């Protein structure tokens, strides 16, 4: 699997984009503002979109993408998420008031969009164009709305993406159970001075993540995502400053345009 970071910021401005990862040329993980950069030809190739949760910074490209290229596709785009997330998107986004219900446009028989519930822990798989296995599984996370992260498993190993979350024992238990984990992409939105906002919005702050990471026996590289705009350097400095020296080398800020192969 080739995984390209289209957006990995907790906000926008000065070139920042919110969460979206392109897998090969046919899958998106989250559809934040990063996906707005795709060409129309690239958008038309997206067959599957996996959404962690319903917050705007993770979905905002999706309604516009469907409207822009739905007509040029010969099959519906499949929207995968845990069932609770799909209910929110049906009720509050594809409800004809905010945006058309594209699961009924242009017709119920041949719509632009199909809702495809994927419960926590259930493995979804699809081979790529050359027959290589690709697996995507929703994993536990803890946020203000129903949320999952995703475990991506390719032919060379695994990448685990936390989605939006704060400290969650089930997430770390799972991390310890993936023997071929190469990359852990985990959010850290705030410095600890903003712990009140972090706790209320259920995001990691740097001290909380540092104390969780210090307890793990990790061999994977750790990539920090979803940092709030303007506070990136401060968050990374506090995080690294509170980790044992031998862990600091394996932890970096996730970069726009970065590509992983798993």
3-state secondary structure of 117: strand
3-state secondary structure of 68: helix
Q: Choose between 230 and 241: whose C-beta lies nearer to Zn ion.
A: 230
Q: Choose between 16 and 55: whose C-beta lies nearer to Zn ion.
A: 55
Q: Choose between 158 and 225: whose C-beta lies nearer to Zn ion.
A: 225
Minimal distance in Å, beta carbon 123 to Zn ion? 24
DSSP for 165-211, written as a single string: ----HHHHHHHTT-TTEEEEEEE--B-GGGHHHHHHHT--BHHHHHH
CB distance 175 to 216 below 8 Å = yes
3-state secondary structure of 90: helix
Minimal distance in Å, beta carbon 56 to Zn ion? 8
Minimal distance in Å, beta carbon 220 to Zn ion? 22
Minimal distance in Å, beta carbon 60 to Zn ion? 11
Q: Choose between 158 and 166: whose C-beta lies nearer to Zn ion.
A: 166
Return residues touching Zn ion (CB under 5 A).
Answer: 55, 57, 164
Minimal distance in Å, beta carbon 190 to Zn ion? 12
Q: Choose between 20 and 78: whose C-beta lies nearer to Zn ion.
A: 20
Angle at 136 between CA 59 and CA 150, to 5 degrees: 55
Burial class of residue 118 (count of CB atoms within 10 Å of its CB; 0-12, 13-18, 19+): buried
3-state secondary structure of 260: strand
């Amino acid at each position: 699997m080739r995984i390209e970071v289209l957006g990995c910021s907790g906000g926008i401005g000065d070139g920042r984009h919110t969460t979206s990862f392109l897998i090969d040329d046919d899958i998106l993980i989250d559809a934040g503002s990063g996906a707005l950069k795709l060409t129309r030809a690239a958008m038309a190739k997206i067959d599957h979109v996996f959404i962690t949760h319903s917050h705007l910074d993770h979905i905002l490209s999706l309604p516009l993408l469907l409207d822009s290229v739905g007509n040029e596709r010969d099959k519906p785009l499949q929207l995968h998420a845990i069932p609770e997330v799909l209910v929110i998107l049906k009720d509050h986004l594809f409800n004809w008031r905010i945006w058309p219900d594209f699961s009924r446009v242009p017709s119920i028989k041949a719509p632009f969009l199909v809702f495809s519930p994927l419960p926590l822990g259930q493995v979804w798989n699809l081979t790529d164009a050359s027959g290589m296995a690709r697996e995507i599984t929703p994993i536990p996370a803890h946020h203000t709305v129903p949320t999952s992260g995703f475990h991506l498993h390719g032919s060379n190993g695994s990448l685990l993406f936390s989605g939006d979350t704060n400290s969650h024992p089930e997430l770390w238990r799972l991390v310890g159970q993936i023997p071929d984990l190469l990359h852990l992409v985990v959010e850290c939105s705030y410095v600890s001075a903003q712990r009140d906002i972090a706790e209320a919005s259920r995001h990691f702050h740097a001290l909380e993540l540092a104390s969780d990471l210090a307890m793990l026996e990790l061999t994977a590289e750790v990539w920090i995502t979803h940092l709030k705009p303007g506070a990136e350097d401060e968050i990374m400095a506090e995080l690294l400053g509170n980790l044992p020296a031998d862990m600091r080398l394996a932890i970096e800020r996730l970069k726009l345009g970065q590509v992983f192969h798993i």
